[in-house]
Each structure stands twice: as C-alpha cells, then as structure tokens.
Amino acid sequence: MGPPGRLAHFKEWVAETGKHNREKIGLLEGVVSIVLNVLIAAVKFFYGIVFHSISLIADAVHSLSDVLSSIVVIVGFNISARPPDEDHPFGHGRTELIASVIVATLLFVVGLEFLRDSIGKIITPAVSELSTLGIIIVGTTLLVKEALARFSFFLGREIDSSVLIADGHHHRSDAISTVLVLISLGFVHAGWPSADGIGGVAVSVFIMVTAIGLIRDSASPLLGRNPAPELVDIVREIASAHEDVIGIHDIVVHDFRSIYNISLHIEVDYTMTLSRSHDISDTIESEIQGVFPGWAIVHVDPVNRSHPKYAVVTTAIERLANDYPFMGTAHDIRIVGSDERFNIVMDINSEKTPERMAQIDEVRGLLNLLFPGSGIVVNIDPPVFGSQG
C-alpha cells in the first residue's frame, strides 16, 4: 500500500474511531504533540548550550511550555469520556469544550506576550544574529510545527473537536512566529531593525483575534446556543412523518457532545384520545433516540382546527407576520368560545425586551380591531430554534 493508500486508510480509521472513542483521537494528538515539542526543546537546548546561544535556550523553554496545552487536551478528552453518573446524568462530554476554552486562553496569553515583546523591539530595536546552524534549526522547527498544526486541524475536523482545532492554532502560532523571525532577519540586515517588532505586533494581533474567536466558538455551546439547522431538520422530519401530527414547534436540543437531550412539541387534533396521542409521542421519542444517542421528550398540544373562526384567525396572524416577523413563530393557536364571542390564545417565541413587548401590545390592538370583543392572550416562550408550527 502506497502513501496515498495509507493516508486514506488512516483517515477512515480516524473517522470511524472518532464516532465511538473520541478519547483515543485526543490522546493521539496530545501524545504526538508532547513528544515532538519535547524533541524540539531538547535539540534547541542542546545546541544552545554547545554554541552558548541564549536565544536558542529561551526558545527551548518556550517549546516546553507548549506541552501544557497538549496536557490540557489529553486531560479534557479523558474526563469527557467518562460515562454518566449520579451527579452528571448527561455525561461529561462538555469537558472537551472547557478544555478548548483553556487552550484558546493559553493561545491568547501567547499572543499577549508576543505583543509585549514586539512593542519592546520597536522601542528598542536590537540586531539579531543567527548562525547557519541556528537558521537550520529554526527552519526545521517551522516545518515540524506547521506539520503538527495541520495534523491537529485534520483530527479536529474529522471528529468535530474544537479543542484539537484550538491546539492546532497554538502550534501554528509558533510556526508563524518562526517565519517572522526569519523574515525579520532579512530586514534587519537591510538596515531596518524595527521591522522585527512591527511584524511581531501584526502577528500577535492575529494570534489574539484567533484565540478570541476560538473562545467564543467553544463557550457558545456551553451557554446553550441554538442547534444546527441540519439537526433540527432531522428531528422535524421524524415527527412530521406521522400523519396525525399537524404541527411541530419548540424544538430544543441540549448537546452534551456524546449525548443529546432533545425536546419538542407536536400538535394533534383535539379530538384525539389521550391513549392515541401518548402512543404517537412514545413512537417519535423512540425514533429520535434511534438517531441521536440520549433522550427525547415529546410534548403533545391539542389543537382545534375545526372551530369556525380558526381559519380566519390564523390567516390574520400570518398576515401580521409581514410587519411583525416574530409573529411567524406563533403556535398553539387556540380559539376558546363560541362563533360569536371567543378569545384567542397563542404562544410565540421571542425575547422579552421593552421594544418587543411594545410590539406585542400593538399586535393585540390590531387583533382587537379585527375581532372586536375578543380577548387576546399571547404567551411568550424562549426564542428557540424550530418554533414555526
């Protein structure tokens, strides 16, 4: 088997292993990173001692410090792989996200320190000198670090791991800084010693911006962001495949990395028996759990679409959505009362800002004009995904 074949086989192994044993992939990346960083540090330290190079010795210490982020990766994957227990019934999968925030924070600190050193070089330019051997060592480090970054990115993309991608950016920051060192040497010898510091400021800002983006992307799931549209579509398709389901809304997904906790509301005709609606909800729950590991909860809402005023009321609400987009989330629309005198009850998904509450009052007023004497009750649910009925 040639190199392309081995690479394809390795890619398949990573994808398959990542489905059932993410910890093994995290351990692979962490161990490879630690071993290579220790080897790089040892080479730099050895030649730093032999040639009395303080810069190489300092760079060796920096390479050893990179081991810390890889240790965080290994520990994070180890904890996230632990099974659910009494205190953590949904498992420990989000530990991986916490580890990602830690690694990204370490990357931000690296950028901050790099910024400080770069500003110092602008204020007090220093002429750097590297021997031919030093340039070879630095160049080799660049290649190894970039290869390590690509390795981490590859594994991270294959198993959708933010912490591995964050560690990849950590490796790449070293590669970028090494490129800067080599380029700045040329400018320094051309008589522009401050170029080293100016380039360093640009790179440090890039590193910090990248770190902030990684922190934001990793923290967002911890705070409870809306699920991916593709996931919601799958849940909706499963529920809507049942002909007795006439509406779906309030799809909520709690992603614990290896386990999902999914809930949704389905609408059925109000004449359906409790036993029948219970059977439908149980079936949908089982089907969802067959696709997504974890738990699913289906809430049943009875809807009376046979009320004489139901069609005209829902049409009015749909038209209001043209001027008030949040009304497009209206669901659980109920007409309570007779044909002549009735109340309109509905739920919407919206934030509760003063501006939105004022708009809801406007909607109530408009509905009162259309249906004089009717009571208008608008219940506000959180602005979750999949709210349309």
pTM: 0.70
Assigned CATH topology for domain 229-381: Alpha-Beta Plaits (3.30.70)
* Equal CATH topology for 3-223 and 229-381: no
Q: Is the pLDDT of residue 368 over 90?
A: yes
Extents of the domains making up the chain? 3-223, 229-381
* pLDDT given for residue 388 in this prediction: 44
124-182 residue pLDDT tens: 876 556 667 777 877 888 899 999 999 999 999 998 888 999 999 888 887 887 777 67
pLDDT higher at 219 or 20: 219
Across 179-188, 212-221, 280-289, least confident range: 179-188
If one counts every other C-beta atom within 10 angstroms of the C-beta of residue 77, the result is: 25
Q: At what angle do helices 3-20 and 22-50 cross, to 10 degrees?
A: 120
30-61 residue pLDDT tens: 999 999 989 988 887 887 787 665 556 666 77
* pLDDT given for residue 146 in this prediction: 93
Across 8-17, 230-239, 264-273, least confident range: 8-17
Tokens describing residue 114 = 């790099």
299 phi and psi, to 5 degrees?
-95, 135
* pLDDT given for residue 54 in this prediction: 59
* pLDDT given for residue 126 in this prediction: 63
Q: Is the pLDDT of residue 1 over 60?
A: no
Name the nearest CA neighbour of 184 among 238, 235, 246, 114: 114
- For tokens 């729950």, what's the residue? 285
Across 59-63, 304-308, 320-324, least confident range: 59-63
Assigned CATH topology for domain 3-223: Alpha-lytic protease prodomain-like (1.20.1510)
- Cα–Cα distances in Å, from 197 out to 139, 175, 183? 20, 17, 12
Name the nearest CA neighbour of 144 among 224, 49, 35, 227: 35
* pLDDT given for residue 303 in this prediction: 87
Q: Is 200 helix (H, G, I), strand (E, B) or coil?
A: helix
Alpha-carbon distance of 218 to 97, in angstroms, equals: 6
Q: Is the pLDDT of residue 4 over 70?
A: no
**If you count them, how many residues does the chain have?**
389
Alpha-carbon distance of 341 to 329, in angstroms, equals: 25
Tokens describing residue 149 = 């970054």
102-139 residue pLDDT tens: 989 988 988 898 888 888 878 887 655 666 777 787 78
